[in-house]
Structure 1
Amino acid sequence: MGVRKVITDTAQWKIVIFELQGEEYGIEVSRVQSIERMLPLTRVPGAPRPDIAGVMNLRGKITPVIDLRLCLGVEAPPYDRQTRILVVVGNDGVIGLIVDRANDLVDITEREIEEIPTAHEDETYGFFQGVVKKDDRMITLLETDQVLQR
């Protein structure tokens, strides 16, 4: 059984919490540029990744959009009024991530982040930094750059 090493360089983080198929995930707030309602997307024929939902015109800038549910292998229900696009900043620029809903903003400390134990590493294993147990919640922290570089 392998254990993913958690890499953190600050003692305290503010995390944007979002949901995929009823599970909670988090991204550092410093990586989130905005949270948008579902916007019209233009499909990109021959996109290099099957999880690329298309591109959107976000305040005059063309921004690629990834359906995070497809990227992580989570069932993708139809978009509804709660569906959101998290506009995130990665090493390679700005990109939108489609999520079921964006719920909350939570403060966590480095001490609260636990390593992710795994029996086997699959293609999505590197997408996560760790897990946080906060009150009665379990929040999986997303490694944004790994998702964007896939």
Structure 2
Amino acid sequence: MKEYNQYVIFKLQKENYAIDIALVKTIERVTHFTRVPNSEEYITGVINLRGEVIPIINLRKKFGLQDNLNIEESRIIITYSNDISVGLLVDSSSEVIDLDLNEIDNPPNLNNDDNYDYIKGIGKKNEELYLILDLDKILDLEREE
């Protein structure tokens, strides 16, 4: 039985985040977006990726962080969950790491803070911390709003 999972690592404001590699289709350079009128502020727009129209979520805006992307470094992580493809706009994406199950802690429970709803664990490896995102919760919130 597999005792570890692989995660794609990316950064938002110099902090390390992780998403399960099984949910990642590709990682793309930032390209032209088509804006969607009357969409939520964190929806950057949509892109045409090899014939598929994919909505792009700016994770900085979604998490209430300052929005100052460096287009050269930024990447779009194309994810797939529950038959939905969504691109996540991030500052940079650098590597894939293995995290053993004993290297992952539960997220802190801080007074029902909505930002922690997106985090399903905190990985610890080589003195670094990685906030592991719960993609399904991010996408469920998308559909409710």
Same fold (TM over 0.5): yes
Asked if the contact 2:4/2:98 (under 8 Å) is kept, the reply is yes
Structure 1 counterpart of 2:33: 41
Which residue identity lines up with residue 147 of structure 1 in the other structure? I
Answer 1 or 2: higher relative contact order, Cα 8 Å, separation at least 6: 1
CA shift for structure 1 position 12: 1.2
Give 1:92 shift: 4.5
Match of 2:6 in 1: 14
Question: Which segments of structure 1 move beyond 2 Å, counting only runs of 4 or more?
Answer: none
2:120 aligned with 1:129? yes
Is residue 3–residue 100 contact of structure 2 (8 Å, CA) maintained in 1? yes
In structure 1, distance between residues paired with 2:4 and 2:69 = 35
Q: What is the number of equivalent residue pairs in this alignment?
A: 141
Cα distance in 2 for residues equivalent to 1:27 and 1:106: 10
Match of 1:82 in 2: 73
Name the TM-score, length of structure 1 as normaliser.
0.89
- Structure 1: how far apart are the matches of 2:136 and 2:110? 24
CA-based RMSD: 1.5
2:79 alignment partner, SS class: strand
Partner of 2:53: 62
Q: Distance in 2 between matches of 1:76 and 1:46?
A: 19
Once the 2 structures are TM-superposed, how far is the Cα of residue 80 of structure 1 from its aligned partner?
2.1
Query: Counterpart amino acid of 2:67?
Result: A
For 1:64 and 1:94, how far apart are their aligned partners in 2? 8
TM-score where L is the length of structure 2: 0.92
Task: Give the Å deviation of 1:84.
Answer: 0.2
1:149 is paired with a residue whose SS is helix
The residue type paired with residue 129 of structure 2 is M
Percentage of pairs with the same residue: 34
User: Any gaps of 5 or more consecutive residues in structure 1?
Assistant: 1-9
